[in-house]
Chain A
Amino acid sequence: MVRARAATAVTRAVIRPRAGAARRAALAALCCALGACHSPLPEPVTRAVLHLHGDGYQRGLQHGQQQRHRIRAFYTRLLDVALFANLGREQPAIAGFLTHYQRPEYQNGNFSYQLLVEMAHSVATTLPKELTDELQGISDGCGLTYDQVLVLNTFADTVMAVRAIASTLRLSRGPRLKSVQFVGMKDGKGEQAKAIDYVPLAHALTTSVPLDASVRLVLNDPDGVDPATVRVVMAEAGKPPEVYEAGSPGYQAEPDGATGLAVTVTRAGGLPAAKAVSLLVFSGDLTVVSDPPPAHARFGREEGFAFTTLGDARAAKEVPNTAPSDGRSQPPPIAAAVRGPASADGVLRMAQHFALLDAGASSDATLVLVHHPPTGPAFATVGWAGVAFGFAGMSASGLSWTCNFSDTLDNAIVKDLLPKVSKLSTAQLSATGWPIGFAMRHAAGQSASVDGAIEALSPLQHLMGWQCLLGDATGAMRGIEIDADAKLIPAKTVEGVHVIGGKASPPGPSAAGETADELRMSVHYVENLVDVDPAIATVATALLEPTGVPVRIDQQRVVSTYWLKSLRTFGQLGDALRQGRGTWDVASLQNLLAEPRFVDTSDSMFAVVLEPKARRLHHAAGALPATDAGWQVLELDAEAP
């Protein structure tokens, strides 16, 4: 049975007159004398807790009726005004590639909605009737069409999948970091060490670099690299980063072949002794892309690597690649779990600060749903008005989850596209699979245990990449990494769930947990390191190269724009967990989630601290960033209203 301790929350700053001033008091007295004493108007609610009872349709209907106007506001502001309009800007690029989208039904501003509703329909084919009934109930209650509600409940997964493809298309045309050479570093024969082909790694690229070495980076782009766009950031742990760009001391650039640019960076005073140093490289080419506006050069992905200098005896794999921050990015979402010696009292606790797309809309529409289905345990999700799930939740039996997206090309759109790859010109995008929020609801209804939940999640076809933490009332915890398991040659069974803690990721500085009682996550895969079937990458390259479309289908660490900043935040989260080891309680975890290094001030959406054993869900939502909203607690052991 479930009860909300704080059934509704007013989280906006209350306007209160400042007290005290005699003049103010005199004015107030005058106003009252004139018959005009007024109490402040009630503040609007930006976070609500809603209990839903009955079967799927009934719960959806209650949701839709009671949140009617918040749902409509959220849909209009996030989808109509923000997402559809901006996604529409991608139509020329997508329609140029997939000519199906040149058809009349996609014109006149209908592209985005039409694209997303078609994908939503393909998603709906995988969902059980109880869930689609619930969406119908929301629709009937709030007055949006069923299709609109369907889009609202699927777009997070489908748009992230579209975004992964669009981003790959865009970045594939930008400069690439081809090689890294440490000038002055000798090989075994005493000669200048050869350049290292650049490969994105979660650990150091090389070790024991001489202190007087320079770093020579070769960038390549078919259209030529613009030296004016190159920016290199170098940092050692605990020191402010140093920026090298055209005109900076220590920065040199020269052509490298017809389409390359060699940039050499030399640190004044030499490299620090016995340190791990990391570099960040950003560059654009000489073209100008003017459609859609504004005009800009084509930029490549931000790349970064780490190395150690002479005196640091660690092996490369012992040194995490924690790319320096140059203040130009927001941190991605984080999640962590602690128990046993890692927590203050040995009890399992989980924490998450989720960020994706506030767009100035979601923080006004936050909603904690507490479902009381006729069968199975009650469960709560932290989400938004009109959305039947959340990316964090807890069942009354204690099963708890947090999910962060994981940017990958191993998604349902790519999977659905594979059979159509020979007819790309007429192919239509679809995405068949379970949105993560519904998948987690399904798992929570199936089992009270982490292992049972993994068992329930494993056979599902998933839509997009996700990273979830699971915990239960017994103190069991697991991380899982999810993808669509797209394979060039389809397997009989879907293997889209990868459990953290296998041989590939033993506890350590680059792993999800430095000890067996800690787990941390950001948005990059730790276990699922070969997310994209290499055969797909090979075939895609072979098929697309002759067409002149330089699309680089590759692993997450090679193509995702989130990967490097996720490494950075992941490293910082590991530092924080280590420093606080043995002290983590609810308050300290809440403080951790509010630390500026973990707060995306633009797109923060909610934060939670979960206590599976106590069935307590602490949530912060309804402000931007979410942790500014204050914390409330939902006790799932209490009696339902």
Chain B
Amino acid sequence: MTSALPVASGKHVAPFRPARALGGIAAILALLAAAMPARAGTTDTLPTGTFLLDTSYVIALTDKQFDRNRREVSLIEPIERYEAGGGWQGTLRARPTVDMRMFVTQLLYGITDRWVAGVIVPVAVSTTIVPNLGWTPGDWNSSLGRPYSEKDFWEWAGSMGQPKPAATWRGNVWTPADLVLASRYRLPESDAMQRLGLRWSVMVQAALPTGREVDPEEVIDIGTSGWWLHNFGDVELHLAADWRLRDAAGLDRLTLGVEAWYAWLRTKTLQTPTGAKNPLLLTYSPYVGDTHEVDGGDWQAARVAIDVVPLIGPTYGTWMTKGSVAAAAGFPPLLALNLSYDFVYLQPTVWTSHDPIWSDERARYWGEGYKHAFAATATLSLLRLGAPLQLYVRQRSLDLVAGKNMRPANATTFGVRLLAKFW
């Protein structure tokens, strides 16, 4: 039997900090690359003077992460708790689920036929985190006459000022995320490229830090900045090319696109928890420092996409084309399907603080890694019918093929695009 020495602690090896662990749930923002084209070409732009307003509702769910061995593990590591002299109290386990809802508005403008610029305004509608806490009893405790149960543990913790996390956390209600500015330029094609149906483009985008960072003192929280969404860098440079197979009527029936991009993530300085609200779990600042730095690690990514047109649909001369059927025939088809695969290589995220061990532990699941992202999009375009609208639905999955050191968020997007030209 063990005797309880009146001291206790928990291993900080496994911080109970789902918030950070939940970072990167994203893959929720379609952003320019997907919103820009009427279909899925990776080089599409808008006609000169045309506005495109894209609004979408995104439901992103995640409940796991892939570790360095590509094994599926909980978003939160098991936390071994010790009562020194009383031995191992037990292991706190959690299998959190995260449900993030986003409302994304994108406004794009065709400066020229080759050059488009836009602003993307993502706003979190809400985030719900259910920690699903569990417990594995530890050593026999002779003072209690039993091993600590989960209830015992939280009562014990409570007597030292450490509250039990809420069974459900809901936050980020109508909270802005990082605003993104983007611009794509379709580069001039040579004669040969034109003959072969090849196009290429360059795109840059930059995020402005309008998103919310987490409250460092909270055990459960998730921010809305790009770092937390983990779906776009602070600055990105894209190079893309596509090849289009045109039918006799001049319609693109099949588009194959490739794209490569580099995302740079700036180093952030974050407040270190002091333990003011969670003394047992989040007292870090005395040795970690008042602040610490997180270098998100840059990404290198590549995409292949295929765009097929199963249904062109009827074409009418309407007010949009001043009655011209021929002009309307240049609009996107009634139904377009797009399939894409992204490989995103993640450089390691590096925490820097006064305590290398603490920093190392933060980075346990943030080492060098990669994502495999598959997406399918169906777009219903009503332009040929006289309505300047496109409706689309997209399903994006990051766990069809296991990634490494990443948190897959599977997202469903419902969107609508409105095109307008005022001059």
Cβ-defined contact, B356 with A45, below 8 A: yes
Q: A81-B280, A88-B160, A330-B2 are in contact. Are A44 and B359 (CB under 8 A)?
A: yes
Cβ-defined contact, A601 with B283, below 8 A: no
Cβ-defined contact, B1 with A329, below 8 A: yes
Q: 8 Å CB contacts to A: which residues of B1-28?
A: 1-3, 5-13
Segment from A72-80, A257-265, A476-484 that makes contact with B = A72-80
Min Cβ gap A79→B in Å is 9
Residue in contact with B357 in the complex, picked from A35, A46, A81, A302, CB distance below 8 Å: A46
Bound Cα distance A235, B359 (Å): 49
Min Cβ gap B240→A in Å is 15
Bound Cα distance A44, B363 (Å): 12
Cβ-defined contact, B9 with A82, below 8 A: yes
Q: A87-B7, A159-B7, A565-B1 are in contact. Are A294 and B144 (CB under 8 A)?
A: yes
Min Cβ gap A558→B in Å is 15
Cβ-defined contact, A82 with B156, below 8 A: no
Cβ-defined contact, B83 with A86, below 8 A: yes
Task: Tell me if A30 counts as interface (CB < 8 A to partner B).
Answer: yes
Question: Which residue on chain A has the smallest CB distance to residue B283?
Answer: A81
Q: 8 Å CB contacts to B: which residues of A562-581?
A: 562, 565
Cβ-defined contact, B87 with A603, below 8 A: yes
Task: Tell me if B49 counts as interface (CB < 8 A to partner A).
Answer: no
Q: 8 Å CB contacts to A: which residues of B345-381?
A: 345, 347-348, 350, 354-360, 363, 367-368, 370
Min Cβ gap A612→B in Å is 31
Binary contact track B158-183/A, C-beta < 8 Å → 1, others 0 = 11110000000000000000000000
Cβ-defined contact, A72 with B5, below 8 A: no
Q: Which 7 residue pairs spanning A and B have beta carbons closest together?
A: A82-B9, A357-B84, A360-B11, A359-B9, A561-B3, A328-B140, A34-B300
Q: 8 Å CB contacts to B: which residues of A58-82?
A: 68-70, 72-73, 75-78, 80-82
B-chain residues with CB within 8 Å of residue A587 when the two chains form the complex:
none
Task: Tell me if A31 counts as interface (CB < 8 A to partner B).
Answer: yes
Task: Tell me if A317 counts as interface (CB < 8 A to partner B).
Answer: no
Task: Tell me if A527 counts as interface (CB < 8 A to partner B).
Answer: no
Task: Tell me if A90 counts as interface (CB < 8 A to partner B).
Answer: yes
What class of interface size applies to chain A in its complex with B? Answer: 35 or more
Task: Sample 29 A-B pairs with CB under 8 A, ordered by A number.
Answer: A15-B68, A18-B69, A27-B370, A30-B302, A31-B370, A34-B300, A36-B300, A41-B350, A44-B360, A69-B356, A72-B354, A73-B287, A73-B288, A75-B287, A76-B283, A81-B275, A81-B279, A83-B8, A83-B84, A85-B279, A89-B160, A90-B6, A296-B143, A297-B145, A302-B1, A328-B139, A329-B139, A329-B140, A357-B7
Bound Cα distance A427, B140 (Å): 35
Cβ-defined contact, B5 with A302, below 8 A: no
Min Cβ gap B354→A in Å is 4
Binary contact track A584-619/B, C-beta < 8 Å → 1, others 0 = 000000000000000011110000000000000000
Question: Which residue on chain B has the smallest CB distance to residue A35?
Answer: B300
B-chain residues with CB within 8 Å of residue A327 when the two chains form the complex:
140
Cβ-defined contact, B84 with A77, below 8 A: no
A-chain residues with CB within 8 Å of residue B155 when the two chains form the complex:
293-295
Bound Cα distance A167, B296 (Å): 49
Bound Cα distance A284, B142 (Å): 10
Question: Which residue on chain A has the smallest CB distance to residue B364?
Answer: A15
Task: Tell me if B152 counts as interface (CB < 8 A to partner A).
Answer: yes
Residue in contact with B159 in the complex, picked from A75, A89, A163, CB distance below 8 Å: A89
Cβ-defined contact, B348 with A41, below 8 A: yes
Task: Tell me if B330 counts as interface (CB < 8 A to partner A).
Answer: no
Cβ-defined contact, A357 with B2, below 8 A: no
Cβ-defined contact, B159 with A293, below 8 A: yes
Bound Cα distance A40, B13 (Å): 19
Bound Cα distance A229, B144 (Å): 11
Cβ-defined contact, A69 with B355, below 8 A: yes
Task: Tell me if B343 counts as interface (CB < 8 A to partner A).
Answer: yes
Residues of A at the B interface (CB closer than 8 Å) are 12, 15, 17-18, 27, 30-31, 34-36, 38, 40-41, 43-46, 68-70, 72-73, 75-78, 80-83, 85-90, 109, 159-160, 162-163, 166-167, 170, 229, 282, 284, 292-297, 299, 302, 327-330, 356-361, 364, 561-562, 565, 600-603
Task: Tell me if B322 counts as interface (CB < 8 A to partner A).
Answer: no
Min Cβ gap A177→B in Å is 14
Cβ-defined contact, B1 with A282, below 8 A: yes
Min Cβ gap A480→B in Å is 24
B-chain residues with CB within 8 Å of residue A159 when the two chains form the complex:
5-7
Cβ-defined contact, B144 with A85, below 8 A: no
Cβ-defined contact, A38 with B145, below 8 A: no
Cβ-defined contact, A602 with B82, below 8 A: yes
A-chain residues with CB within 8 Å of residue B161 when the two chains form the complex:
85, 109
Question: Which residue on chain A has the smallest CB distance to residue B153?
Answer: A294
Question: Which residue on chain A has the smallest CB distance to residue B404?
Answer: A27
**Apart from A69-B354, A83-B6, 7 more pairs, CB < 8 Å:** A82-B84, A85-B8, A85-B160, A86-B83, A295-B155, A297-B145, A328-B1
A-chain residues with CB within 8 Å of residue B286 when the two chains form the complex:
72, 75-76, 80
Task: Tell me if B57 counts as interface (CB < 8 A to partner A).
Answer: no
Residue in contact with B9 in the complex, picked from A15, A41, A78, A565, CB distance below 8 Å: A78
B-chain residues with CB within 8 Å of residue A166 when the two chains form the complex:
6
B-chain residues with CB within 8 Å of residue A89 when the two chains form the complex:
6, 159-160
Q: 8 Å CB contacts to A: which residues of B75-101?
A: 80-85, 87-88
Cβ-defined contact, A229 with B279, below 8 A: no
Task: Tell me if B151 counts as interface (CB < 8 A to partner A).
Answer: yes
A-chain residues with CB within 8 Å of residue B158 when the two chains form the complex:
293
Min Cβ gap B332→A in Å is 32
Cβ-defined contact, A299 with B83, below 8 A: no
Cβ-defined contact, B7 with A86, below 8 A: yes
Cβ-defined contact, B145 with A229, below 8 A: yes
Cβ-defined contact, A282 with B142, below 8 A: yes
Min Cβ gap B274→A in Å is 11
Bound Cα distance A620, B1 (Å): 26
Cβ-defined contact, A330 with B357, below 8 A: no
Min Cβ gap B50→A in Å is 34
Residue in contact with B358 in the complex, picked from A43, A73, A299, CB distance below 8 Å: A73
Question: Which residue on chain B has the smallest CB distance to residue A27?
Answer: B370
Q: 8 Å CB contacts to A: which residues of B38-83?
A: 68-69, 80-83
Min Cβ gap A360→B in Å is 3
B-chain residues with CB within 8 Å of residue A328 when the two chains form the complex:
1-2, 139-140, 142
A-chain residues with CB within 8 Å of residue B69 when the two chains form the complex:
18
Binary contact track B183-207/A, C-beta < 8 Å → 1, others 0 = 0000000000000000000000000
Bound Cα distance A284, B161 (Å): 28
A-chain residues with CB within 8 Å of residue B3 when the two chains form the complex:
167, 561-562
Cβ-defined contact, A294 with B2, below 8 A: no
A-chain residues with CB within 8 Å of residue B148 when the two chains form the complex:
294
Cβ-defined contact, A87 with B142, below 8 A: no
Binary contact track B95-117/A, C-beta < 8 Å → 1, others 0 = 00000000000000000000000
Residue in contact with A299 in the complex, picked from B142, B350, B355, B356, CB distance below 8 Å: B142
Chain A CB within 10 Å, residue with most, of B1, B363, B367 = B1
Min Cβ gap A589→B in Å is 26
A-chain residues with CB within 8 Å of residue B149 when the two chains form the complex:
294
Residue in contact with A43 in the complex, picked from B146, B283, B300, B360, CB distance below 8 Å: B360
Min Cβ gap B346→A in Å is 9
B-chain residues with CB within 8 Å of residue A43 when the two chains form the complex:
360
Q: A15-B367, A34-B300 are in contact. Are A360 and B12 (CB under 8 A)?
A: yes
Chain A CB within 10 Å, residue with most, of B7, B140, B151 = B7
Cβ-defined contact, B144 with A296, below 8 A: yes
